[in-house]
Amino acid sequence: MTGMAALAPALAEAARATARVASGHSLEDPGEQGAARGAVLDLCYGTLRRFGRVQALVRALSHKGKTATQVQALLWCALYALESGRYATYTVVDQAVRACALLEQWPARGYVNGALRSYLRGRAALERRVLADEEARYQHPRWWIEILQREQPQHWPSILEAGNSHPPMCLRVNRRRIQPAEYLARLAADGLAARSVGACALLLETPVPVARLPGFSEGLVSVQDAAAQHCTRFLDLAAGQRVLDACAAPGGKCAHMLECADVEMTALDADPARAARVGPGLSRLGLRADVRAADCTALDDWWDGRPFDRVLADVPCSGSGVVRRHPDIKWLRRAGDLRTFAQRQTAILSALWRVLGAGGKLLYVTCSVFREENDAVLADFCARTPRARRRPLPEDAGAQLLPCAEHDGFFYGLLEKAA
């Protein structure tokens, strides 16, 4: 995909996708297959991880009035392509100009050519200029940076750095079918280096397609972030318990609980399309659950009145702890969204508390690093819920797991319902 004939279509498709993100829409998976799809994804994800930077560079390079969003997006993607080192500089410039025709932006060819050549000539000065802009330097919106500086004064630079990095690929071994040490040996025999980072978690040295994973189709292993694998030990599962996974899709945590204990599992998701993904994943692993498309807060639609012993509330959130996997999130979220998420999270907690039996435990989970969605929600809920008791997590686990080289950012809060 490094040839001149192939890069122009990839740049054009990536420009369309990133222009949609700039207009407020989520990043969509390109329809292309094979190498073409890989190149488009690399351009989209790479550009969005550096979005603040490439936007600042294009503003600095522009000497004309407002240009079409797709033309700006083409320049964003071309700048990432130049910085990625995957292509020769002359190839990127030539193919970006050709991509103008594919975008039906023929008058912009001279502008795109001139802007990219100006960047190559004055790169050092431009670098110094854009680094004065916080959004360009840290690749996150300014409001996001300011919240982390206030809430995580010791860790905010590393959190932002992690958010701009490539995500790790972690596996969860299905211990009903194979032990982690045995599967680690299977990986080594197939030339895949990995190391243990948890009871069932194996971190790959280099990400690979799931088709390369030995025994994947036979259910020996699943792909799941190491931080997402904590829920089973936090919930203290035991055979025979009635367990509810209230926001289950795509089903990773639900499957992990079933791999660890013979529980009676009910799995819900409000989105029918997402709920439909849970069953096939469980079948691949040899597991079963009562999977339903239902809003967990609409109790009359799904609850039979029998209390649950354990409830997993993996609630909708900002996704601020997993932005390296979904880089469009950084630029689609607004500061006011945190309050909206917190209100929804509180509503879910209040509803699920009603289905939890006396002495039961509820695990509140987000993939957020913002206090407004995490500790603040739990503190408010416990303050106005007489029987809610916040329980300590195991000594080696913190409630707020910050994103790092081994795992994404997650928050865990364990509540117990007093008798």
Q: Which residues are catalytic?
A: 367
Which residues of 168-289 form beta strands (DSSP E)? 170-173, 194-196, 201-204, 221-223, 242-245, 264-269
Unique residue bearing structure tokens 């069953």:
279
Q: Starting from the edge strand earliest in sequence, which strands make up the sheet with 201-204, in order?
A: 194-196, 201-204, 170-173, 221-223
| CA-to-CA separations, 339 to 317, 344, 413, in angstroms, rounded | 10, 9, 19
Non-local CB neighbours of 104 within 8 Å, separated by 6+ positions: none
Question: CA-CA distance, 156 to 320, in Å (whole number)?
Answer: 13
H/E element holding 311? Answer: strand 308-314
CA atoms in the 13 A half-sphere facing the CB of 75: 29
Backbone dihedral angles phi then psi of residue 335, each to the nearest 5 degrees: -55, -35
In 3D space, the residue among 277, 159, 187, 176 whose CA is nearest the CA of residue 232 turns out to be: 176
Extract the tokens encoding 276. Answer: 């439909």
Number of Cβ within a 10 Å radius of residue 255: 27
Question: CA-CA distance, 123 to 116, in Å (whole number)?
Answer: 10
Phi-psi region of 85 (alpha: psi -120 to 50; beta: other; left: phi over 0): left
Q: Which residues of 358-387 are buried (b: 16+ CB within 10 A; e: fewer)?
A: eebbbbbbbbbbbbbbbbebbeebbeeeee
Extract the tokens encoding 383. Answer: 């303050």
CB 313 within 8 A of CB 363: yes
Non-local CB neighbours of 83 within 8 Å, separated by 6+ positions: 50
CB 353 within 8 A of CB 362: yes
Question: CA-CA distance, 266 to 253, in Å (whole number)?
Answer: 12
Alpha carbon 171 to chain centroid, angstroms: 16
